[in-house]
Structures are given as C-alpha cells and as structure tokens.
Amino acid sequence: MLKVENVKKAFGPTTVLDGVNLTINPGEVVSILGSSGSGKSTLIRCINGLEKLNGGSITVDDFDVGKPKELAEARKRSATVFQLFNLYPHMTVLGNVTLAPVEVLKKPRAEAEATARALLQSVGLGDRADAYPAQLSGGQRQRVGICRALAMQPRYLLLDEVTSALDPEMTAEVLAILAKLAAEGTTMLFVTHEIEFARQISNRIVFLDKGKLLVDLPTADFFAAEGGMTNPRIAQFLSKMRKD
C-alpha cells in the first residue's frame, strides 16, 4: 500500500501541497487530474523522495520515504516515468534499461539484459536496443523510459505527465502501452492531462487544486453529473479541457 498522509510542501513562501491524503492499493490505477501548478508533479516528486516534505508522511509498503534509512527500500518499490524522459544520453537503450537492475537490484548482467530485451520487444523497440536516446523519436524515448521503470519490477509505477511532451501520434503509442499495463494489473499513479484516457484506465480519479485534494472518487462517480461535477471547480476544469 502506498500511503500519503497529510503531506505539506512549500517552496519558500509558495505552498504547493497543502495537506494531501491519498492511499493506493496494489492493483489500482489512480489518475491525478488538475490544472498546471496544482501540485501534481510535486506530489510525485515527494513520493519518490526527490523533495523533502514540510509536513505529513509518505510510506511505500510501510517504508517511510522521509527516513533516510528507509528511502532506499521505498525507492526499490516504486519506479518513475518522467515527463521529459530523463534518459541517460551516453548510454544505449539497453544500457539505460539495465543500469538500475544491475547496480541497485544486483542482478547478473545477462539476466538484466534478457529482461530488458523482452521488455523492449513488448513495447515494439526490440530492434533499437543498441541505439542511443538521441537517435530515437520522442515516443520511442518515452517507451524506453517506461521499460527502464518496468525493469525494476516496481510494485508502484509513478507516471508524471508522461505524454505531455509528445505529439498526438506519439501520445497514442505510449498510451497504448499504458493501457496494456493497466489491463495486466500494474499498480499505477498516473498524473495526466489526458482526461479521456484517464477515464478509460483508472479505478479512481483524484483532483488536485492549488495543493489541496478536492475529491477522490471512483472513476464513474467522478464523471457523473451528481458526483465530481457538482464541484464547480471540477466542472469548470472538465468543460475547459473538453473544448480543446
């Protein structure tokens, strides 16, 4: 279970997260919606330990992200896919995917490479294992990013606006893979602006606004007229997003 309890985060005078509570059970797909600057990405960065909390706590399978001794164990249980891919440019695709399994999980290189090749195959990049990130398209790079995360066999997959830097065609490539993962029962925390897609794959939708978690509802309820739509802020957000 991934537990976010009363998390507060501020950058200087700016409050970014203001008492956020969230629980994700194994097997769930939870989407976080909200406008830019609402704190979605910061929440992900808090969960994977990139930001220090100003209050509250985050535990991943009972390992406290805020405690230096438990952070390493917590990080082994989750894996992040980044908005701008954040691949290592000096390593091949295979090198990118195998680095952490070999160095952190201490897997034998041959085994890590076999796993990596199988993963790359499954996202349609079986023939690009020896390419460098700069030789790939954005969509291909993000698929590598997903493989790099999956190679850690994470219990929780954290996806931080993974399609925001991609054009519609490449977005479709990446979303198809995520849909497959969701269908296979991968636990995902999915920060996104792809509302329709979030609706298709999520068990629950969470809406963040100005650092506060406005609602946390099952997907059907969130989009129902008598559910999330009763909240004026959410109704406004959804109507604006759908016009685009």
Partner 1 sequence: MRFSDFTPFDIWLLLQGLGVSLGLFLSTSLIGLLIGTSWAVCRFYRVPVLTPVITFIAELLKNSPVLVQLFLVFFGLPGLLHIRITPTTAAMITLSANSAAFVYVIAVSAIESIGRDQIEAARVFGLTRWQVLRHVVAPQAMAFAIGPLTALLVNQLQVTSLISVIGVVDLTKIGNILNLRTLKPFIVWTVVGLLYYLCAKLLAWLGARFENRLRAHAAWRGLICSK
| Dist. CA 203–CA 139, nearest whole Å | 26
CB 41 → partner 1: shortest distance, Å?
12
- Residue nearer to partner 1 on the CB measure, 17 or 100: 100
CB 2 → partner 1: shortest distance, Å?
15
- Residue nearer to partner 1 on the CB measure, 72 or 235: 72
| Dist. CA 244–CA 233, nearest whole Å | 17
- Residue nearer to partner 1 on the CB measure, 88 or 218: 88
Cα distance between the two ends of the chain:
36
- Residue nearer to partner 1 on the CB measure, 75 or 128: 75
| Dist. CA 147–CA 159, nearest whole Å | 12
- Residue nearer to partner 1 on the CB measure, 99 or 179: 99
| Dist. CA 82–CA 208, nearest whole Å | 19
CB 165 → partner 1: shortest distance, Å?
8
| Dist. CA 236–CA 137, nearest whole Å | 35
CB 131 → partner 1: shortest distance, Å?
9
CB 121 → partner 1: shortest distance, Å?
21
| Dist. CA 222–CA 196, nearest whole Å | 12
Q: Which residues bind partner 1 (CB under 8 A)?
A: 48-50, 72, 75-76, 79-80, 82, 84-91, 99-100, 103-104, 132-135, 148, 152
Geometric angle at alpha carbon 121, from 41 and 139, rounded to 5°: 40
